[in-house]
Chains A and B, each alone.
Chain A
């Protein structure tokens, strides 16, 4: 039977009073009523809830929902040397915004950013918790570079920093590490740079499983080469990136895949049988048993109740794949 996983983010708040604790906590921090340590308690309660929801639904490989991240770019980049965080910029084609990292000197890793968060999450989850990091090429592409004046050099230095971070995560016990490179759906020509930077990260991963995930679009034009990148698993958005389906079905994959088949950007509910059928259509092209079903991208673009529904659809679809396999 195919397994299930998520991509990364999870809605931070829901509709009930209890589910809005994090929003209230951040507002209280902004007003100076509580300190950072108090907010961390609220964040961790939320992480616990997010993990419980994924565990209860039966997701096989979960994340901490990236609850403590301000956004996908500034959270990690802001803790590296020579990076300041600036104004708001739209995040790809979403209705969300990130604070733009501004690079003013040589970028370097200072200290672990995610290790404590990951340890806490794993201690509160039955299922393994995947450590998710934004990839160096996406980070370099979305930053304002005032130092290197070369995306490649910046990306490779970021890759070195991410490699250090991955090393500490693996040492702490992380068995799954995912690198997100959504930029590949916009700039397929960056594939060779993604491969080169993954080599640097890979050298720190030890026995952990390394996944490369692309989302917010298709990678049809580079699919064949993408399948050769130095990662153990390849994650694909097959909703917004439905055009990837054709080369995927044609060439298959020797690597296990994460099939992003459930639309994480629209509330419309899919029929689990239809999702299962799509996965089963790939039965002869990929190894379904070592692959995963997932939402098409992080779940934070949906309201929390809808995100839960999508995960149930995912789980039901995986069960149907098991029956049909």
Chain B
């Protein structure tokens, strides 16, 4: 299995290089599910049966049955493997503490805050290990960010524990939430860059960003990862141009709304190819490097 996972990882690294992506990911070919992967590599957890997320998508949910402990590095060897295949930076990818807590059943802590902060402590160790292994960018994925607005202070605290003291560029990714409700927290998030799904939300947020500027970099999702349709370059270009009416080019990164694992290989490649082509066309038209 490891051989096949390495082969798939190498292929995706090569593909991203070939089409000209600047900051790469390892494609998480070895992760069944983003929360389960970290949970099954920690002590104190069991993995449940399948639970539905939406449509025909299911995942095995972690169950916290004892005190959480880290046995050792979790994703570092895969980061090292992927980074060795390319000169370009590969992102270290961590599922955030709030999402780990929210997507786990808790039979031990009995308090969402306690479980979340326990995850944060262990994921900080993982982030430090990724940085030590050479990660120039560490991304914390928090798709559960907008789950409970009253818990946003907890999320800010927990992500702050994960990113504390890192010199690598830190990114927080989130998706599919009511951004208007959480907008006030965007500038409080203890990361350098915010990565948002924008095309699925119909670019609704742009007006708000115009009124209330983001003080961080933004990674701006321009292709819908839940649609079979491969967006044409012209449409993506329009979306990037719209983003540039609000964000300065130096602070704007272009990416898909979210991970592409729910798409076929052809769809994923088509979306990424058009995305890169659109970004290049915009750069050229505006004389950007």
Contacts and interface: CB of A to CB of B under 8 A. Distances in A.
Query: A and B bound?
Result: yes
Interface of A: 11-15, 23, 26-27, 30, 70-71, 87-90, 93-98, 266-268, 300-306
Contact of A96 (B50, B52, B105, B226): B52
A97 B197 CA distance: 15
Given A90-B147, A90-B176, A306 B52 contact: no
A95 B56 contact: no
Contacts of B200: 87-88
Interface string B53-77: 1111010010100000000000000
B148 interface: yes
B25 to A, nearest CB: 22
Interface residues of B, number: 29
B53 A267 contact: no
A242 B48 CA distance: 26
Contacts of B117: none
17 contacts: A11-B51, A13-B52, A23-B56, A26-B55, A30-B56, A71-B54, A87-B226, A95-B53, A95-B61, A96-B53, A97-B54, A266-B106, A267-B48, A268-B107, A303-B49, A303-B50, A303-B51
A7 to B, nearest CB: 16
B196 to A, nearest CB: 14
Interface string B162-188: 000000000000001110000000000
Nearest to A98: B54
A-B pairs, top 9 by smallest CB distance, nearest first, are: A303-B49, A97-B54, A26-B56, A267-B105, A268-B107, A87-B200, A93-B147, A15-B49, A93-B148
B10 interface: no
Contacts of A14: 49-50
Contacts of B201: 87
A89 B176 contact: yes
Contacts of B147: 90, 93-95
Contacts of B178: 89-90
Contacts of B107: 266-268
A252 B58 CA distance: 40
A303 B47 CA distance: 11
Nearest to B54: A97
A281 B86 CA distance: 66
B22 to A, nearest CB: 27
B48 A27 contact: no
Given A88-B200, A93-B148, A304 B226 contact: no
Contacts of B48: 267, 303, 306
Given A11-B50, A95-B147, 5 more contacts: A12-B52, A15-B50, A88-B200, A95-B144, A304-B49
Nearest to B47: A303
Nearest to B224: A87
